[in-house]
Amino acid sequence: MSSPKTPLDLTLDGGALTAALVDFPSVSGDEQALADAVEAALRGYPHLTVDRYGNNVVARTGLGRGERVLLAGHLDTVPIADNLPSYVEGDLLYGCGTSDMKSGVAVQLRLAATLTEPNRDLTFVFYDCEEVEAHRNGLGHLAAAHPDWLTADFAVLMEPSGAAVEGGCQGTMRVQVRLTGVRAHAARSWLGDNAIHHAAEVLTRLADYRPRRVEIDGLEYREGLNAVRIDGGVAGNVIPDECVVTVNFRYAPDRSEADAEKHLREVFDGFDVTVTDSAPGALPGLGQPAAQAFLAATGGVARAKFGWTDVARFSALGVPAVNYGPGDPNLAHKREEHCSLSAIAETEERLRAWLTA
């Protein structure tokens, strides 16, 4: 595994550079070593202006072109699952973050290093803490502290999409449904009221729930409402007086955050519901001229993005954006996470052609 002091060589091909990035462990909150390496590598290219804020690195060209395109990718990964260092089998590169999303970051770095005369001005954004709570997100911090660094006519978020264009993203909301009872000795349970038993009604409502399928701009978004955690219990001989069911709602981008919260309170009417985390979705916006031009250049047919991505942040900034990266979204966060080397090369080739045509 690479030492955190090992410099990044941006002349490596996309697959080898992805492997080098993967071998820099960078679980959310521990991205400094990788951010240092990315910053140092980019400062070696005189055609780029490089800025840093926290563990977020931004590199820009200043060629006076009539349009600016921003390419963004997060540096962090989910916790390592005994899947480092990286290794190759045939066309597949295995390791934590290969799909989500160090393969996309490798493509960004390759383009940043080599596109000295692009047909549009370019901004490359590398940010931290995407895989955790929304308030820690580095792109959000950049938007608040240095919004001018994110000015662009169009953005491509290098999230895993299987080298296909994915439009918009789902919104996400987590709530805690709190159930109360009366504590008592388990041998005299009739003197208490078991809070865990009250969770049965919450779970029944979830099991009976039928999520929507919504078509927007020709793309179908599928919603989901699921319990993701249950906390309760005091001791093996105590009737519990509290139980908390944590529920995650993934909703189509035609709902606002307020709409999503209202819906959850209707589903769990009669229960104590507290919102603990929330991030809005983003409409596809594929009718925008920049998005149409990107679709034509990549030769793909767009599909809906399942999951929340920072496309929503760009949408809030008024920047049309799509998801487009070499990783397979179905492999994100898995122990056997991997990425196709040919998909990395293909994604870089398509973006390079679009930015030099």
Q: Residue 2 falls within a domain, yes or no? A: no
Catalytic positions are 76, 130
Pairing type for strands 154-157 and 238-239 reads unpaired
pLDDT averaged over 10-residue windows placed end to end, the chain, 357 residues: 69 98 97 97 98 98 96 98 97 98 98 97 98 92 97 95 92 97 98 98 98 93 97 98 98 96 98 95 84 83 89 90 94 96 96 93
Q: Which domain holds residue 187?
A: 171-279
Residue 147 and residue 34 share a domain: yes
Of 212, 244, 279, the last residue of a domain is 279
| pLDDT attached to residue 5 | 58
Q: Residue 68 falls within a domain, yes or no? A: yes
Asked if residue 159 lies in contact with residue 347, where contact means CB atoms within 8 angstroms, the answer is no
Q: Residue 124 falls within a domain, yes or no? A: yes
> Which CATH number covers residue 208?
3.30.70.360
| pLDDT attached to residue 272 | 98
| pLDDT attached to residue 6 | 78
- Residue 124 makes CB contacts below 8 A (sequence gap 6+) with 42, 48, 58, 59, 60, 70, 71, 72, 108, 109, 111, 112
**According to the 3-state scheme, what is the secondary structure of the chain?**
CCCCCCCCCCCCCHHHHHHHHHCCCCECCCCHHHHHHHHHHHCCCCCCEEEEECCEEEEECCCCCCCEEEEEEECCECCCCCCCCCEEECCEEECCCHHHHHHHHHHHHHHHHHCCCCCCEEEEEEECCCCCCHHHCHHHHHHHHCHHHHCCCEEEECCCCCCCCEECECEEEEEEEEEECECEEHHHHHHCECHHHHHHHHHHHHHHCCCCEEEECCEEEECEEEEEEEEECCCCCEECCEEEEEEEEEECCCCCHHHHHHHHHHHCCCCEEEEEEEECCECCCCCCHHHHHHHHHHCCCCEECCCCCCHHHHHHCCCCEEECCCCCHHHCCCCCCEEEHHHHHHHHHHHHHHHHC
Asked if residue 135 lies in contact with residue 250, where contact means CB atoms within 8 angstroms, the answer is no
Residue 179 and residue 52 share a domain: no
| pLDDT attached to residue 1 | 42
Q: Residue 240 falls within a domain, yes or no? A: yes
Residue 235 and residue 90 share a domain: no
- The whole-model pTM stands at 0.84
Give the total number of structural domains in the chain. Answer: 2
Please, what is the Cα angle at 37 between 33 and 40, to 5 degrees? Answer: 135
Of 229, 260, 279, the last residue of a domain is 279
Residue 286 and residue 333 share a domain: yes
Residue 137 and residue 68 share a domain: yes
Q: Residue 4 falls within a domain, yes or no? A: no
Residue 156 and residue 294 share a domain: yes
